[in-house]
Every structure is written in C-alpha cells, then in structure tokens.
C-alpha cells in the first residue's frame, strides 16, 4: 500500500505530521491525541469536506495520490456540546430581539409625541409646553439607564466566531444609545430654543426643529440596521444547527460500523500471532545452528594455533597507566615529593560523568553498543583548584597520565582526592568540546554496566558475586579558555593485571572472576565483542579495553577480532577447575537466554 504525507492540526494549535496510509490516520491520531477518543475524531480537509470514517478516507486516497493531505481535527463530542450551547444562545438572543423590537416601537411612539410637542411649541411658545418637554426628557433618561445596564450585561460573553457577531450587534445597540444621548442633547437645545423663543423669529425656530427631525430619522435608520443584524445572527445559527445535525448522522453511522471493523481486526491479529509464533521458533533454531557453527569454527582455529604458537607468560601485553603508577617509587599519594619543582596550580570547572541506566540498557538490548556514548552525561559540580604535574607521571601505549591533588573545591568531598588527567599519546591539543572528553570514559561505563549484569546472574545462581566497580569519571574545563580534559579519581591499593594479550591465567578467586566475566561478555554479545586488559587496584577496575569483531568500531582502543581469538584460545585451553567457580553449563545457558 502507498504511504501518504499527511498534516493534521488540532484546535489547540498543535500540528502533527504523518507518512502513512490515509485510511489509518484516525487510529494514529488516537495514539497521539489522548484527550479525543478514537470514535469522536472527525477530519475536515482544505475544501471543508468532513471525514469521520476510515472508509471515506480510503476513497480519498486514490483522489489525492502523491499529494500531501491536510486535515483539521475536530472532537465530535465537543462539537455536540457547542451545538447545544448555540441552541440556548439562539433562544436567548431571539427573546432579546423581540424585546428590542418592542422598545423600538415605544421609541417611535415617543418620537411622534415629541414631534407633536415641537409643533405645539412652535405655535404657542408657552412655558406649560416646556414643562411637558422636561418631563419627557426625564423619561428618556430612565430608558437610557435601563439600556446601558442591558448592554453592559451582554458584553461579558466569550469571544468566538458566533460571539463576535453578537458583540457586533451589541456594539450597534451602543451606537443606538449614543444616538439617544444625541437626541437628549437636541431636546435640551429645544429647551434653550424655548427660552430664547421670545427673542428669535419664528423662521429660525422652525429651522432648528427641521434639523432635529433629520437627526431623529438617522437614529431610526440605525435602529433598523441593528434589528437586521439580529436576523442575520438567527440565520447563521440555523445554518450551524443544520451542519451539526449532518455530522451527528455521520458519527452514528461510523459508530455502528466500529464493531464490524473490530471483529475483522481481531481475526487478522490472531492470524498474525500464529505466524509470529512460528517465526520465533524458526529464529531460535537458526540461532542454535549459528552458535554450533561458530563453536566449530573456533575449535578449528584453536587447533590451527596450537600447532604453531606457544603461550608466553608476559609477552604482547598492553600496559596501562595504573600499572606504571603503582610500580613507581612514590606511587600516587606522594607524587608531589617527587616533583616539587614541576608542579602547577590550576583552576577548573569540574563535571562528573554519569550513565543513564535506562538508555544504556535500551542500547544494549537493541545491540546498538557502538552508540553507547549517547547514555553518558556530564553534570557540573562547581570549581576546583588542583596542584598538578607539568610532566607525565606515567605513559602507556595509548595514554599519558598527569597526577594532581585537589587543594580547594566548591564541594568539600573532592578536597584531598587525587585525579589522573589522561591524554591520548596521539593527541596534540586538549579537547574542544565536553562530548569529545566524555568519549574516553566509554570503555569504563560499558564495563560497569556488564559487570552489574554479570553479578546479577551470579546472584540468581547463588554464586558469590564481585564487589568491584570503575573509578569515578570526570571532565575538567579550564577557567580561562574553552578546553576540556578527561580524568579519573584514583586511589592506591593492591594491583593485579588480570588478562592482556598473551597471558597465563592464575588459579585464584579474583583472576577467575574477571576471566569468566570476559567470557560472559563474549557469550552475552552473541560473540560480537569482549572486555579484556582488566587491571585491578584495590576495589576499582582500570584501563580495560572493549574489542569487537569489527576492529575500531567501538573506540580507538578497540583491538578487534585478534584480541577475542587470543583470549578464547588461552581460556578454553585451561583445565575445567580453572573456571568452574564462575562458569558452568547452567551459567552458559542463562547467558545465551539473556541474548535472546
């Protein structure tokens, strides 16, 4: 089926974009717009055509092939509530229309009376008629006050398309009131004319009366326009009522067909479940066969290597920074005594690197381990002042390490602790961004995550788990420029180098634990990667390397498939008792099941 680009806008202003089959748009909308139920979703296109059923949308698909569709999303239930509110408003304003017409009739009668009075004044010019006029003006004041109260009450309705029309009509009533005020002013002028009538000629008096009549005629014309606006409003409400009734009929039709569609969907879902179950069984068989094939290939490679190579004790190992530091005379805690004339005081902003466990497990489960840096975040912990070495305290194959001690810090927990600032040997200048510096902690946190999984599996099998963890990871930012440094918090302790390159496994609890951890990682990854070169100082793990079947894909330290092969050749050649504590058939089965 062809996919269609579709844009949907809800009344609140949010816009959603889809690229799906057009008949599925309502079901996709119901997943994103939780406040509008599926049955209540109505779509209106650019030509104001209404769609409330998937069948209608399906027919539109062929009319708009390769064209981007645009719909406005309407809640049928909300539309029905507005319809009922419009009915109430229609009744209310119709009643007000009748009352306004009645008031208009009364004003016309008063107009006739005023004309008569004016005529009498022009003929008799007596004080008695002036008193009558004043009385009438008082009555007009009362009418004006009543109308102002009514107009004020009507101004409180909310602004919508319908309400704006009503407010427009009310504004016209306001114009009427202003005209009434003008009328009153003219009446006052009449009173003034009455006072001056003894001094002015009868001709001037008649001219003033004619002007007043003209003003009154304009006022009546404005009143008629206001009444016509009310009639227009009633007609508009009738049109809305008819449209809403049509939408209700279409909504009922789609609701009646809903059960039929649900039944068909359930039948298709059952068929799909059966097919998925068969597919899962087939995938399990394929995985088992692949595992057997890889096992045979590994055994064949082992036989080939055994005929040409001998295991050497310490040859071909990659040295680590902690290994060199712990072999130095002053180790870590007394490094300042060795370099009194080669120390530097420097200020930094410190960031501690942490791992988002949920995202890390998600990447691991999706086999997206090469993107593992996405789950690493650095949080600012204030400022620190370091006393640090100018020259490297240790150099390995990959890194140069500079020891430092915290003299001052925003957070007291850092004061007195030792940091090892690490730079790549191939690195000519500091990192320009914090994300570049975080990359160097990728191996450490990946190792931490898999150690936690390994311990959890050992615990479930009632086997003693290890209590080791990686050192705390940090990034330092120079205070005077935009450069960043990666570092670890380091401590002295008993140092062990577990496995690296060509090595001879030792039969003790610590070596056995970490060698079988490396084997667990290999099995857990479905033979895609391994963690070796593990070096232990106290209870912390340092300088480990993640190697994959595609060399360099995980990090620049990645040693590739050759590292994996060398480790397996050595471990698989050992006596069974060497690994039985942390590895047996049960643990191997659990590890394979975890991968599935």
Give the CA distances from residue 525 to residues 356, 549, 594, in Å, rounded to whole numbers and listed in that order. 20, 11, 9
Q: What is the pLDDT of residues 294-334, one digit of tens each?
A: 656 655 655 554 444 444 344 345 789 999 999 998 899 99
Confidence of residue 586 (pLDDT cuts 50, 70, 90): low
Q: Which residue has the higher pLDDT, 195 or 385?
A: 385
Distance of alpha carbon 403 from alpha carbon 393, whole angstroms = 6
- Write the pLDDT tens digit of every residue in 61-91: 555 555 788 889 988 888 888 888 888 888 8
Give the residue among 581, 442, 462 at the shortest CA–CA distance from 514. Answer: 581
Q: In percent, how much of the chain has pLDDT > 90?
A: 33
Residue 554, in any domain of the structure: yes
Domain boundary among 54, 79, 104: 79
Burial of 91 from C-beta contacts in 10 A (0-12 / 13-18 / 19+): exposed
Q: Could you tell me if residue 267 is inside a domain? A: no
Q: Looking at residue 474, which CATH number applies to its domain?
A: 3.30.200.20
523 Cβ contact partners less than 8 Å away, ≥ 6 residues apart: 588, 591, 592, 595
pLDDT single digits (tens) 514-555: 998 999 999 999 999 999 999 999 999 999 999 999 998 999
Same domain flag for 52 and 93? no
| Domain endpoint, select from 24, 52, 79 | 79
Asked if 90 and 29 sit in the same domain, the reply is: no
Structurally, the chain folds into a number of domains equal to: 3
**Spatial contact of 487 and 477, defined as CB atoms under 8 Å apart:** no
When the pLDDT of each residue in the chain is averaged and rounded to a whole number, the result is: 80
The pLDDT-based confidence of 49 (bands split at 50, 70, 90) is confident
- The structure tokens listed for 244 are 């809403």
Predicted confidence at residue 253, as pLDDT, reads 72
- Residue 297 is assigned to a structural domain of this protein: no
Using the predicted structure, report yes or no on whether residue 339 has a pLDDT greater than 70. Answer: no
Q: Is the dihedral of CA 547, 548, 549, 555 positive or negative?
A: negative
CA-CA-CA-CA dihedral for 417, 420, 421, 424, to nearest 10: -170
Whether residue 426 lies inside any domain: the answer is: yes
Tally of residues, the chain: 596
Same domain for 217 and 327, yes or no, is no
Question: Are residues 516 and 373 part of one domain?
Answer: yes
Domain with 10 in it: 4-79
pLDDT over threshold 50, residue 159: no
Give the end of a domain, one of 24, 51, 79: 79
Say yes or no: 414 and 498 in one domain: yes
Q: Which strand ranges, in their side-by-side order, compose the sheet holding 540-542? A: 469-470, 540-542, 535-537, 495-497
Per the domain annotation, does 295 fall within a domain? no
SS3 assignment, position 485: strand
Mean per-residue pLDDT for 386-396? 93
Query: pLDDT tens for residues 93-132?
Result: 778 878 877 776 777 777 677 667 766 765 665 555 556 6
The answer to whether residues 59 and 90 belong to one domain is no
Do 68 and 110 reside in the same domain of the chain?
A: no
Residue 299 inside a domain? The answer is no
Looking at per-residue confidence, does 56 or 466 come out higher?
Answer: 466
- Report, in angstroms and rounded to the nearest whole number, the Rg of the chain calculated over CA atoms: 45
| pTM of the predicted model as reported, rounded to 2 decimal places | 0.49
Question: What's the confidence (pLDDT) of residue 149?
Answer: 62
Is residue 246 domain-resident? Answer: yes
Q: Report the run of H or E that residue 349 belongs to, with start and end.
A: strand 343-355
Tokens of 444: 């450490």
Q: Please tell me whether residues 538 and 581 are part of one structural domain.
A: yes
Provide the strand spans (E) within 376-431.
376-389, 394-395, 399-409, 418-424
Per residue in 233-258, pLDDT (tens digit) is 777 777 777 778 777 777 777 767 77
Same domain, 95 and 162: yes
pLDDT of residue 157: 46
Same domain, 112 and 75: no
Kindly report the three-state secondary structure assignment for every residue of 530-545: EEECCEEECCEEECCE
Would you say residue 296 lies in a domain? no
- 147 in the same domain as 22: no
Q: What is the CATH number of the domain that holds 67?
A: 3.10.20.90
Whether 146 and 181 share a structural domain: yes
Residue with more model confidence, 289 or 52: 52
């Amino acid at each position: 089926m062809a996919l269609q680009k579709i844009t949907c806008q809800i009344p609140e202003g949010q816009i959603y974009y889809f690229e799906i089959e057009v008949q599925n748009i309502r079901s996709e909308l119901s997943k994103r717009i939780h406040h509008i139920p599926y049955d209540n979703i109505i779509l209106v296109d650019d030509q104001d055509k209404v769609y409330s059923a998937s069948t209608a949308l399906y027919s539109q698909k062929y009319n708009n092939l390769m064209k981007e569709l645009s719909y406005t999303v309407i809640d049928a239930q909300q539309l029905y509530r507005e319809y009922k509110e419009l009915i109430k408003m229609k009744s209310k304003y119709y009643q007000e229309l009748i009352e306004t017409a009645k008031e208009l009739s009364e004003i016309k009668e008063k107009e006739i009376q005023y004309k008569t009075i004016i005529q009498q004044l022009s003929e008799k010019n007596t004080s008695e008629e002036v008193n009558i006029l004043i009385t009438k003006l008082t009555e007009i004041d009362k009418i004006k006050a009543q109308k102002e109260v009514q107009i004020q009450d009507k101004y409180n309705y909310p602004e919508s398309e319908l309400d704006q029309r009503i407010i427009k009509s009310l504004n016209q009533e306001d114009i009427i009131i202003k005209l009434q005020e003008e009328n009153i002013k003219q009446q006052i002028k009449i009173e003034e004319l009455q006072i001056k009538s003894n001094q002015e000629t009868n001709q001037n008096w008649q001219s003033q009366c004619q002007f007043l009549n003209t003003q009154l005629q304009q006022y009546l014309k404005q009143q008629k326009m206001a009444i016509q606006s009310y009639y227009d409003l009633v007609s508009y409400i009738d049109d809305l009522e008819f449209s809403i009734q049509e939408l209700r009929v279409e909504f009922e039709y789609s609701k009646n067909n809903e059960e039929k569609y649900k039944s068909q969907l359930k039948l298709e879902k059952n068929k799909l479940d059966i097919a998925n179950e068969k597919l899962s069984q087939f995938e399990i068989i394929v995985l088992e066969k692949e595992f057997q094939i890889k096992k045979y290939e590994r055994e064949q490679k082992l036989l080939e290597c055994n005929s040409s190579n001998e295991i050497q004790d310490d040859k071909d190992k990659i040295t680590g920074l902690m290994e060199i530091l712990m072999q130095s005379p002053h180790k870590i805690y007394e490094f300042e005594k060795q370099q009194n004339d080669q120390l530097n005081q420097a200020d930094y902003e410190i960031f501690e690197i942490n791992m988002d466990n949920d995202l890390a497990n998600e990447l691991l489960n999706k086999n997206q381990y090469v993107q593992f840096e996405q789950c690493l975040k650095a949080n600012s912990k204030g400022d620190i002042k370091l006393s640090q070495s100018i020259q490297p305290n240790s150099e390995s194959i990959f890194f140069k390490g500079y020891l430092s001690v915290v003299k001052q810090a925003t957070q007291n927990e850092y004061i007195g602790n030792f940091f090892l600032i690490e730079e790549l040997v191939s690195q000519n200048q500091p990192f320009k961004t914090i994300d570049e510096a975080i990359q160097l902690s990728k191996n450490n946190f990946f190792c931490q995550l898999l150690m936690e999984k390994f311990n959890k599996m050992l615990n479930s099998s009632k086997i003693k788990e290890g209590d080791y963890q990686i050192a705390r990871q940090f990034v330092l930012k120079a205070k005077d420029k935009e450069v960043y440094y990666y570092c670890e918090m380091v401590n002295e302790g008993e140092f062990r180098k577990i496995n690296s390159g060509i090595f001879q496994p030792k039969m003790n609890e610590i070596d056995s634990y970490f060698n079988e951890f490396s084997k667990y990682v290999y099995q857990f990854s479905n033979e895609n990667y391994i963690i070796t070169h593990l070096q232990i100082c106290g209870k912390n793990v340092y300088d480990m390397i993640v190697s994959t079947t595609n060399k360099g894909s995980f990090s620049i330290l990645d040693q590739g498939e050759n590292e994996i092969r060398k480790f397996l050749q050595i471990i698989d050649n050992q006596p069974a008792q060497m690994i039985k504590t942390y590895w047996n058939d049960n643990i191997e089965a659990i590890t394979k099941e975890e991968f599935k």
